[in-house]
């Protein structure tokens, strides 16, 4: 296995946050990562009963793998694995007053993660 691959390496997400806080030009990675992690935690708890157990287990494991990747470099790849939660989140939203901000936030985060992945080659 090459040193550039993740393998079995995990890192404390709080150590990653401290490292990114002390690294110049890493604010966009940190802000996007924290926003995605907050949404992931919300989705895991809010959608627990909406999905079959296998989807819940898969998404929970992939979320943990995403937030423990060194410097959040695997985050976009692992975020793709929690798509079942992103699909079920709208089930919690009733009415257009909440739906429009939800869609706008999703589009903003999608753009942000894509921009980070392409600009910083964040996908490892």
Is 8 a domain residue? no
Which of 18-32, 65-79, 90-104 is least confident? 65-79
Q: Give the pLDDT confidence score for residue 1 in this predicted structure.
A: 42
What residues make up the domain containing 38? 13-17+25-119
- d(CA 99, CA 14) in angstroms, rounded, equals 32
Give percent of the chain above pLDDT 70: 76
Q: Give the pLDDT confidence score for residue 115 in this predicted structure.
A: 79
Q: What is the mean pLDDT of residues 71-89?
A: 69
Is 3 a domain residue? no
Q: Give the pLDDT confidence score for residue 8 in this predicted structure.
A: 59
Q: Contact 116/32 with Cβ under 8 angstroms?
A: yes
Mean pLDDT of the chain: 76
Look at the chain and report how many structural domains it folds into: 1
Q: Give the pLDDT confidence score for residue 6 in this predicted structure.
A: 58
Is 49 a domain residue? yes
pLDDT band for position 4 (cuts 50, 70, 90): low
What HEC string does 5-29 produce?
CCCCCCCCHHHHHHHHHCCCCCHHH
Is 2 a domain residue? no
Is 72 a domain residue? yes
Q: What is the mean pLDDT of residues 18-40?
A: 83
Is 7 a domain residue? no
Is 74 a domain residue? yes
- pTM for this prediction: 0.66
Is 1 a domain residue? no
């Amino acid at each position: 296995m090459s040193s550039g691959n993740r393998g079995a390496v995990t890192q404390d997400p709080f150590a990653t946050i401290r490292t990114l806080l002390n690294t110049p030009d890493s604010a966009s990675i940190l802000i996007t990562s924290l926003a995605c992690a907050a949404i992931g935690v919300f989705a895991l708890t809010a959608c627990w009963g909406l999905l079959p157990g296998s989807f819940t287990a898969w998404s929970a494991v992939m979320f943990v793998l995403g937030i423990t990747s060194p410097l959040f470099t695997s985050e976009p790849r692992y975020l793709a694995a929690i798509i079942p939660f992103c699909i079920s989140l709208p089930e919690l939203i009733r009415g257009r007053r909440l739906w429009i901000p939800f869609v706008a936030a999703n589009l903003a985060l999608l753009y942000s993660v894509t921009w980070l992945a392409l600009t910083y080659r964040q996908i490892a």
